[in-house]
């Protein structure tokens, strides 16, 4: 078995295989150092976060909560986690924060464990309309054996049909009304949905994985003040930390907070990857210092990029609403289920632009969708602004509209990226030697 570059065969020596892994990691670093990372669910970490996740903490355990551990040797990590909880409460303006979860999906499983029992009803956005797979029977909702009903969708506004969603909630009377998407262009009118949910005794769960940094930066919406009981999220998308998750709540009830903590440990985590928790803490400290500016610049860049793509002739979704209010931009490249999005993503990768194909309203097949989902948070992180967004849109047009050979465009992609090798919005920015592996 080999990848498209060719590297190893099943009968290779173990040393050859190990060296191939090292080489592949270096090649991956080169791909992104010289290219444009535009997958909406990814980001890069600061030098200080890189250092802490490579520390001795990577192999240690600290089951429990600070001061209440099942292992010895945890005093120093107690300090780290305690600072992290304090920072998370401050950054997210949340009475409760748990920073142990190993991913956004694990955060979702934990929240559902705390909020519902198997056989209970839940309402959520369907995957066809942009809901995350963990909101579906194939993911965390199915794992908890919950009965799923999905909201009607307003395609023009790219959000749940609010009247229909409230009607569904009042009809189903779910234990959990789940809001949030993987395709997340605009703030959800949360207050109306939360009012309907609380009217029937449901808890409101907001999956902010994609937009958590925008929420913390004050440029998207404020779910905990708009009716959400719990926020789940990832620590590595618009929030620019290491891979991991958060669980937040507006509740000050100690019993409810204990339920949430117990749902994470021992509910869904044993070891919760102490080096990544420590990385989250550093990222929280950096975000408290620089996050507001970073979030503002992300949204400004996304809006500018969407407008520039439209000016180049692309079909950019949600034109009537100004295309986007988040880090994401959606483009349509052909008819439903045509595979045009997959083809566009492959051509862009050949040009050094890394994106992902994505289902759009009307598509039914995840592997042959018509669209692309594009994110600007990584380009923003390395200092690109509106001028660069226009240049990136022109690069897209050269490949996908004008039909230029991607290999020739790739040289100009690398030239653009060569001027953006320093990670911004973090400590020790001035001491960096360049883009990390």
Question: Is it the case that residue 413 has pLDDT exceeding 70?
Answer: yes
End-to-end CA distance of the chain: 25
Question: Span 385-412, mean pLDDT?
Answer: 98
Beta-strand relationship, 176-179 and 203-207: parallel
Share of the chain above pLDDT 70, in %: 97
Question: Span 366-381, mean pLDDT?
Answer: 97
DSSP string covering 111-133 = HHHHH--TT-EEEE--GGGT--G
Whole-angstrom distance, CA of residue 7 vs CA of residue 221: 47
pLDDT in tens, 149-164: 999 999 999 999 999 9
Question: Span 270-294, mean pLDDT?
Answer: 97
Q: In this predicted structure, what is the pLDDT of residue 69?
A: 94
Q: In this predicted structure, what is the pLDDT of residue 136?
A: 86
Q: Categorize the per-residue pLDDT at 4 as very low, low, confident or very high, splitting at 50, 70 and 90.
A: low
Residue 130 vs residue 110, higher pLDDT: 110
Q: Categorize the per-residue pLDDT at 7 as very low, low, confident or very high, splitting at 50, 70 and 90.
A: low
Question: Is it the case that residue 405 has pLDDT exceeding 60?
Answer: yes
The tokens for 57 are 């903490």
Domains and CATH numbers, the chain: 49-286 (3.40.640.10), 291-431 (3.90.1150.10)
Q: Categorize the per-residue pLDDT at 12 as very low, low, confident or very high, splitting at 50, 70 and 90.
A: confident
Beta strands in 29-143 (DSSP E): 36-37, 64-65, 68-69, 96-98, 121-124
pLDDT in tens, 335-371: 999 999 999 999 999 999 999 999 998 899 999 999 9
Question: Is it the case that residue 2 has pLDDT exceeding 80?
Answer: no
**pTM of this prediction?**
0.95
Whole-angstrom distance, CA of residue 187 vs CA of residue 210: 12
| Those residues with Cβ within 8 angstroms of residue 158's Cβ, 6 or more apart along the chain or in another chain | 130, 183, 185, 186, 317, 318, 321, 330
């Amino acid at each position: 078995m080999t990848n498209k570059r060719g590297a190893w065969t099943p009968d290779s020596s173990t040393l050859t295989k190990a060296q191939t892994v090292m080489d592949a990691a270096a090649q991956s670093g080169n791909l992104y150092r010289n290219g444009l990372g535009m997958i909406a669910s990814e980001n890069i970490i600061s030098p200080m976060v890189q250092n802490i996740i490579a520390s001795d903490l990577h192999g240690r355990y600290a089951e429990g909560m600070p001061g209440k551990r099942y292992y010895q040797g945890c005093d120093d990590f107690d300090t780290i986690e305690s600072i992290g909880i304090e920072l998370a409460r401050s950054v997210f303006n949340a009475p409760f924060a748990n920073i142990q979860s190993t991913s956004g999906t694990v955060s979702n499983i934990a929240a559902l464990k705390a909020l519902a029992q198997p056989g209970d009803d839940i309402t959520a956005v369907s995957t066809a309309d942009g809901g995350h797979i963990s909101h579906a029977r194939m993911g965390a909702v199915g794992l908890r054996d919950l009965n799923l009903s999905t909201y009607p969708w307003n395609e023009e506004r790219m959000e749940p049909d609010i009247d229909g969603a409230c009607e569904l909630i009042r009809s189903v009377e779910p234990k959990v009304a789940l809001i949030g998407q993987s395709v997340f262009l605009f703030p959800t009118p949360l207050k109306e949905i939360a009012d309907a949910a609380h009217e029937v005794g449901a808890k409101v769960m907001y999956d902010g994985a994609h937009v958590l940094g925008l929420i913390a930066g004050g440029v998207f919406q404020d779910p905990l003040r708009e009716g959400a009981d719990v926020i789940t999220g990832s620590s590595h998308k618009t929030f620019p930390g290491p891979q991991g998750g958060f669980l937040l709540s507006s509740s000050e009830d100690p019993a409810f907070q204990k339920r949430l903590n117990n749902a994470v440990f021992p509910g869904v985590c044993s070891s919760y990857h102490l080096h990544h928790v420590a990385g989250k803490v550093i990222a929280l400290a950096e975000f408290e210092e620089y996050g507001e500016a970073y979030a503002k610049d992300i949204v400004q860049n996304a809006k500018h990029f969407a407008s520039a793509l439209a000016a180049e002739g692309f079909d950019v979704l949600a034109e009537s609403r100004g295309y986007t209010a988040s880090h994401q931009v959606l483009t349509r490249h052909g008819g439903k289920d045509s595979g045009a999005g997959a083809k566009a993503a492959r051509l862009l990768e050949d040009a050094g632009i890394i994106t992902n194909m994505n289902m759009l309203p009307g598509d039914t097949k995840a592997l042959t969708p018509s669209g692309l989902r594009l994110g600007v948070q990584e380009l923003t992180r390395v200092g690109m602004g509106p001028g660069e967004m226009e240049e990136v849109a022109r690069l897209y047009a050269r490949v996908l509209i004008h039909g230029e050979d991607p290999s020739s465009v790739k040289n100009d992609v690398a030239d653009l990226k060569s001027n953006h090798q320093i990670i911004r919005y973090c400590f020790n920015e001035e001491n960096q030697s360049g883009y990390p592996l």
